[in-house]
C-alpha cells in the first residue's frame, strides 16, 4: 500500500509553504490555505519513520464532517475539500495556545495524577480518582503551541492572560467555544456508541473574528472509548477499549520509546503499519456511521492531489 509522506507543490499564486508534523500547508495569495493531510504519523512530538496508508484521507474527511456539523456553534476556516486529502480554507492568525478539553482522567493527565500531581494547568483535580474516571464537568487544560521538534507545555488560564498570549476577552470566547464544541462532539459520539474522552481545538482570527482552525474530533486530536463495556471495565480497573492514537503511544512505550534523548523508534514492520491503518479505518466508520471508501487509483497520490487542487484554484 502506498503512503503519502512528503509533498513539494508549487501552485499558481503560492506565497508560502509550511511543513508540519503531519500536514503540509500551502498559502495562496496570502489569505487562502491549502492544507494537505499526509500519511505521516507523529507521537511524543516525533515524526515516525513510516507513513500510514489512508491516514491522511481518514483524518481529513472526519475533520471536514465535524467542521460542517459545528458551524452553528462557531465560524470555522473550511471553504472546500477539493481532494480526499485536502481542505482549503481562510488563513487565520492562530492563537499560540491549544485548547485541550478533558471529560475523563486518562492519558498524560492520568500519568501525572498517579505520580501525585493534583493540579493541571491551574485546574485542581480531587484526590481519590481512578484511571478513566469521568470528571464531574469537563476541564480545560491548555498548552502552548510548540514549534517543530519542541514539546507543547502545559499552561494555565491565568498565565495565558498575564503573559498576553490571549486577551481575557478573547480567552472567554475560546473557553465558550471549546466547551460547546466538546458537548456537540460528545453528543455525536454517543449516537455512535462512543465516548469522546478528550480532544484539542485550535483557534485563530480572521478580519477580527475568532475562527475554529485545523482538524477537529479526529483520532489524531481526540481520544474515544467504546460506550459498551465502559462501566464494567472501569469497575474492574481494566484498560478501556479505545479508538485514538493512544494505542500508537502505548506501542511505542511498550517498546522503550517516549521521545526522550537517546531512545530509538522501534521497527515499524508492515504488520504494525497495517494494524495502525485498520484502527484508523475502524474509528472513521464508528464515528461517522459510514463505510470508508479508499481513494485508490493508478496514479501517484501526490499527482492526484496536485491536479485536484489546481483545478479548484482555477475556479
More confident residue, 210 or 279: 210
Cell readout for 299 is 496514479
pLDDT tens for 52-64 read 999 999 999 999 9
Cell readout for 286 is 464508528
Beta bridge partners of 198: 102, 223
Beta bridge partners of 86: 36, 83
Find the radius of gyration of the CA atoms of the chain: 19
Task: Please tell me the predicted confidence (pLDDT) of residue 212.
Answer: 98
- Structural domains of the chain in order of their starting residue, each with its CATH number: 94-246 (3.30.470.20)
DSSP labels for 40-106? --EETTEE-SS--TTHHHHHHHHHHHHHHTTTTTS-BSEEEEEETTEEEEE--EE-SEEEEEEEEE-
Which uninterrupted H or E stretch holds 291? Answer: none
**Pairwise CA distance, residues 73 & 180, whole Å:** 7
- Span 158-183, average pLDDT: 97
- All residues at 6 or more sequence positions from 125 whose CB lies less than 8 Å from its CB, including other chains: 105, 109, 113, 117, 118, 119
- pLDDT at 2 > cutoff 90: no
- All residues at 6 or more sequence positions from 131 whose CB lies less than 8 Å from its CB, including other chains: 105, 106, 110, 114, 237
Handedness of CA 186, 189, 194, 198 (dihedral sign): negative
- All residues at 6 or more sequence positions from 58 whose CB lies less than 8 Å from its CB, including other chains: 218, 219, 280, 281, 283, 284, 292
- Span 21-50, average pLDDT: 94
Beta bridge partners of 37: 23
More confident residue, 305 or 283: 305
Beta bridge partners of 36: 24, 86
Average pLDDT value for the chain: 93
- All residues at 6 or more sequence positions from 124 whose CB lies less than 8 Å from its CB, including other chains: 118
Q: Global pTM?
A: 0.88
pLDDT tens for 52-108 read 999 999 999 999 999 999 999 999 999 999 999 999 999 999 999 999 999 999 988
Task: Please tell me the predicted confidence (pLDDT) of residue 283.
Answer: 83
Q: How confident is the model at residue 147 (pLDDT cuts 50, 70, 90)?
A: low
244 phi/psi in degrees, rounded to 5: -170, 180
Question: Lowest mean pLDDT: which of 207-216, 243-252, 304-313?
Answer: 243-252
Handedness of CA 88, 93, 98, 101 (dihedral sign): negative
Amino acid at each position: 500500500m502506498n503512503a503519502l509522506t512528503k509533498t513539494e507543490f508549487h501552485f499558481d499564486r503560492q506565497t508560502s509553504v509550511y511543513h508540519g508534523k503531519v500536514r503540509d500547508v500551502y498559502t495562496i495569495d496570502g489569505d487562502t490555505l491549502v492544507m494537505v493531510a499526509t500519511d505521516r504519523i507523529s507521537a511524543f512530538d516525533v515524526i515516525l519513520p513510516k507513513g500510514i496508508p489512508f491516514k491522511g484521507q481518514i483524518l481529513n474527511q472526519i475533520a471536514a464532517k465535524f467542521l460542517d456539523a459545528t458551524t452553528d456553534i462557531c465560524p470555522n476556516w473550511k471553504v472546500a475539500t477539493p481532494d480526499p486529502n485536502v481542505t482549503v480554507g481562510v488563513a487565520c492568525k492562530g492563537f499560540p495556545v491549544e485548547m485541550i478539553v478533558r471529560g475523563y482522567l486518562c492519558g498524560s493527565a492520568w500519568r501525572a495524577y498517579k505520580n501525585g500531581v493534583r493540579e493541571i494547568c491551574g485546574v485542581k483535580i480531587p484526590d481519590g480518582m481512578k484511571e478513566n474516571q469521568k470528571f464531574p464537568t469537563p476541564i480545560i487544560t491548555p498548552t502552548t503551541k510548540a514549534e517543530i521538534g519542541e514539546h507543547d507545555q502545559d499552561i494555565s488560564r491565568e498565565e495565558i492572560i498575564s503573559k498576553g498570549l490571549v486577551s481575557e476577552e478573547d480567552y472567554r470566547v475560546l473557553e465558550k467555544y471549546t466547551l460547546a464544541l466538546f458537548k456537540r462532539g460528545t453528543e455525536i459520539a454517543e449516537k455512535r456508541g462512543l465516548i469522546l474522552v478528550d480532544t484539542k481545538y485550535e483557534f485563530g482570527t480572521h478580519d477580527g473574528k475568532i475562527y475554529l482552525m485545523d482538524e477537529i474530533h479526529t483520532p489524531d486530536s481526540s481520544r474515544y472509548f467504546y460506550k459498551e463495556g465502559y462501566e464494567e471495565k472501569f469497575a474492574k480497573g481494566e484498560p478501556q477499549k479505545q479508538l485514538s492514537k493512544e494505542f500508537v503511544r502505548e506501542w511505542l512505550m511498550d517498546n522503550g520509546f517516549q521521545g526522550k534523548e537517546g531512545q530509538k523508534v522501534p521497527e515499524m514492520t508492515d504488520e504494525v503499519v497495517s494494524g495502525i491503518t485498520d484502527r484508523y479505518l475502524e474509528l472513521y466508520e464508528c464515528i461517522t456511521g459510514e463505510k470508508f471508501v479508499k481513494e485508490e487509483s493508478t496514479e501517484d497520490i501526490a499527482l492526484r492531489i496536485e491536479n485536484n487542487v489546481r483545478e479548484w484554484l482555477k475556479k
